[in-house]
Structure 1
Amino acid sequence: MTQFIGTGVALITPFNSDLTIDFDALERLVEYNIENGTEYLVISGTTGESVTVTKEEKKELISFIAKVNNGRLPLVVGIGGNNTAAIIEEIESSDLSHIDAILSVSPYYSKPTQEGIYQHFKAISKASPKPIILYNVPGRTSSNMLPETTVRLAKDFENIIAVKEASNNMGQYLELLRTKPNDFMIISGDDDLALGVALAGGSGVISVIGQALPKEFSEMIRLGIAGKAKEAYDLQFKLIPIIGLIFSENNPAGIKAVLETVKISKSHVRLPLVEATDKLKSTIKAELENLGKS
């Protein structure tokens, strides 16, 4: 699955002022990433405000992005939740003809045991016609998929090919890298730790900031995968401040403020999220000026 090595970006869903989807902005965003070195695109993840996008809108997003992309980059779509049967139904009823893999988040809110998590993904694996990237993000799910569960799934099901690990715990990353099967990919879901994970043997990142700074961020990850630490860290040191800023209030409010500043899309979000504060927008603008991006 070399198509998922490097930098994938968790695309935002741009909105107009009336909170309908801004397809013009979405086209600009997709083209900007294709032209500037992003390796693959992720549709309808957390950063895409998936929980407030309707089923019909999700179908429109997949169809539109697939049309704009026109086979140029691999596409991943988020299909996950805490209702196993509903996820299977969505997989079976969706047109996945243009999709290269499914990103499926570990069950949230219900707080299942590790065995419950295993059985959940076992059922999804059996139903999915596409490769599966697991997604562990305990800060949002209130449940940590432990490395032994991830590795068990990796060993038992051939179509479970990777994990997007977003525990923000370097020790957990290292345990996954130490114990995983050789062909199983560890993909960082933490922009601030992504370089360290790449240098330690990870396969790259599914990034938030990467969609706004694709040239710099994807080059940093490529250097990390190649073991060129000095050159990679030189880039990371420049990016550390903006990475911190976009997560300081809310994701995706922060990245939407960045994309508004660089004139790709507007900063509108759907409730219960609210836009970045004027103070944060001003700080983001100043940092982008420091990076020569405003």
Structure 2
Amino acid sequence: MREKIFGGVYTAIVTPFDDNEEVDYGKLRELIEFQIDNGVEGIVPCGTTGESPTLSHDEHNRIIEETVKIVDSRVKVLAGTGSNSTREAIDMSIHAEKAGVDSVMLVNPYYNKPTQEGLFRHFTTVAKAVNIPVVIYNIKGRSSVNLETDTLIRIINEAPNVRGVKEASGDMEQIKEVISRTPDDFSVMSGDDALTFEIIRNGGDGIISVASNVIPEKVVELADASIDEDFERASELNNELQPFFEMMFIETSPIPVKATLALQGKIEEVYRLPMCELMPENKERLEVFLSERNLTGDSNEP
């Protein structure tokens, strides 16, 4: 019987830009090294947090290539290769496989609102185009479509290399159903930092995290305690970290997390339109929050 291949903390890494809005590969290396030093299981380049919609295809491909080189097999690389075009998702997934990633992540097709049959055909077609594991990213809030559990089961049965789902539907009843109905070797990863404890406690396997860009050690501690069923400690950590998780979403992600990393001096606070800096009142809230918790430097303690 196959074993699960996803679990623990995977960091959805930001894409650092320089003052000219070009990808800063030196900063990307530093960010990835910080993650590895603090015990994460994997790095996820070119996801939502990596501002993938504003990357050119060449940039997207190079970021994945550079991430593989930097990681050098020390942790896993789960590359974001999703698209609302099935052909484009196939092309990016094949490139990522050739670049040496461990697996690819496919987000729900956005804007064009496929039916459940369309989702089934999309995900199975892309999965069959590669020979590495696939994680489906279910996020209705950004894609306007929800991958129903029945459809997910059909996909798993048709494409055996679909080995996990990043669940960001926010619907705990659906997530519990996914956990109970999927095979034992299938991984259910939280796509919402705030639900990490709840999802793992109900049988999930880990978190693909935004917050771990800033506090990887703490997110790893939370996930590990939850996985080890040390629920007393996990509950304490969960309560401790909830204000930080909430602060990372005071505006559209990844704006707050990039602003935080910039305040720590780790990256320039540069976005590509239509993403832009925090509203002044939220920037002030963030600065006060981080200062009160000694998170304006390189600290990893919220």
TM-score range, shorter chain: over 0.9
| 1-structure distance, mates of 2:5, 2:294 | 30
Selected match of 1:129 from 109, 128, 131: 131
The residue aligned with 1:172 is 174
Question: Which residue in the other structure is 2:22 paired with?
Answer: 20
In the other structure, the counterpart of 2:245 is 243
Runs of 4+ in 1 over 6 A off after TM superposition: none
1:72-151 matches, cutoff 5 A: 72-94=74-96, 96-151=98-153
Partners of 1:160 and 1:57 in 2: how far apart? 26
Q: Percent identity?
A: 33
Q: Note the C-alpha offset of 1:240.
A: 1.0
Asked whether the 8 Å contact 1:39–1:73 carries over to 2, the reply is yes
Higher deviation after alignment, 85-94 or 100-109: 85-94
TM-score when normalising by structure 1: 0.95
| Separation of aligned partners in 1, 2:266 and 2:125 | 39
Deviation at 1:95, TM superposition (A): 5.5
1:189-208 C-alpha deviation (Å, 9 max, x unpaired)? 01111110011110101010
Q: In the alignment, which of 201, 204, 226 is matched to residue 203 of structure 2?
A: 201
Q: In the alignment, which residue of structure 2 is the partner of 1:52?
A: 54
RMSD of the TM alignment (CA)? 1.5
Distance 1:144 1:284 in 2: 32
Q: Is the 8 A contact 2:258 2:269 kept in 1?
A: yes
TM-score normalised to the size of structure 2? 0.93
- State the shift of 1:277 in Å: 2.4
Q: Work out the CA distance in 1 between the residues paired with 2:99 and 2:252.
A: 33
Query: Counterparts of 1:201 and 1:272 in 2: how far apart (Å)?
Result: 37
State the SS of the aligned residue for 1:103. strand
Q: CA deviation at 1:119?
A: 1.0
Instruction: Show structure 2 runs of 5+ residues with no match.
Output: 297-302
Distance 1:279 1:79, change over 3 A: same
Which residue in the other structure is 1:42 paired with? 44
Q: State the match for 1:282 in structure 2.
A: 284
Deviations 1:263-292 (A, max 9, x none): 211221100111112332332232223333
What code does the residue aligned with 1:66 have?
V
How far 1:163 moved relative to its partner? Answer: 0.5
Q: Which residue in 1 is equivalent to 2:12?
A: 10
Which residue does 1:256 correspond to in 2?
Answer: 258
Deviates more, 1:274-283 or 1:172-181: 274-283
Which structure 1 residue ranges, 5 or more long, are not aligned? none
Matched with 2:231 is: 229
The answer to whether 1:156 aligns with 2:151 is no
